[in-house]
Amino acid sequence: MAASAVCRAACSGTQVLLRTRRSPALLRLPALRGTATFAQALQSVPETQVSILDNGLRVASEQSSHATCTVGVWIDAGSRYETEKNNGAGYFLEHLAFKGTKNRPGNALEKEVESIGAHLNAYSTREHTAYLIKALSKDLPKVVELLADIVQNSSLEDSQIEKERDVILREMQENDASMQNVVFDYLHATAFQGTPLAQAVEGPSENVRRLSRTDLTDYLNRHYKAPRMVLAAAGGVEHQQLLDLAQKHLSSVSRVYEEDAA
């Protein structure tokens, strides 16, 4: 009896809906006004401008009137591109990215970011690695310079490698204590078993303990190539300025793979 009552209520609701569809009053409902506003909002979204440097690196931007901007370099280098032997190398490199470059040793990089009131971040996934800076739009030239330094000149000092090795192992222990993280890792490994997509972003703990500076350098040389990079920015950014800065700081990124050069 309860089930039939539910059915009647549903049918009755449908009839009311059909009747009101014929009434112009429906256009005054808040839900539909919201839909119209959303459609208008889509039309006002800034155009995404895309250019490509001669080395294949893509430059994309969406300009607004904001006084701030977010700029980042995205690289097609995640755990899906790793082997069983070097699984975890990309995540390891991301951890080392802010620990100094050949031009900015030690914590000089982080201090320079702080000096302009910017925020530096990075993350890794199975598909890609990203390095991001949020800053005032007037500091765009410095931001692109810093990002270019990070992706091209990481110092990979032995002392920092050993320090971050311990940090990553502790992170992995914390992740293993989260049942949600464990379940989703197993779900991914099962769904994509037998393929590189099954590999964890952090890699197995034995790899973290074993990966050397040579392994990390080899990974950089193999995957950090211009055609796999995108310099993207949103906010108070002019596309031509971003393109000029990319040409200045990132045009020297190689597009040649070792197997092609052989």
Q: Which residue has the higher pLDDT, 68 or 262?
A: 68
| pLDDT at residue 45, as a whole number | 77
Q: Which residue has the higher pLDDT, 21 or 200?
A: 200
Task: Tell whether the model's pLDDT for residue 119 goes beyond 90.
Answer: yes
pLDDT band of residue 28 (cuts 50, 70, 90) is low
Average of pLDDT values for 48-56? 97
Average of pLDDT values for 161-187? 94
Angle at 233 between CA 230 and CA 235, to 5 degrees: 170
Catalytic, out of 82, 94, 164, 202:
94
* Measured distance CA(145)–CA(142) in Å, rounded: 5
* Contact by Cβ (8 Å): 73, 143: no
| pLDDT at residue 68, as a whole number | 98
Q: Which residue has the higher pLDDT, 9 or 231?
A: 231
pLDDT in tens, 225-258: 999 999 999 999 999 999 999 999 999 999 988 7
Q: What is the percent of the chain where pLDDT is above 70?
A: 82
Helix 158-176 with 179-191: angle, nearest 10 deg: 100
Decide if 94 is catalytic: yes
pLDDT in tens, 124-149: 999 999 999 999 999 999 999 999 99
CA 53 to chain centre: 21
pLDDT in tens, 202-216: 999 999 999 999 999
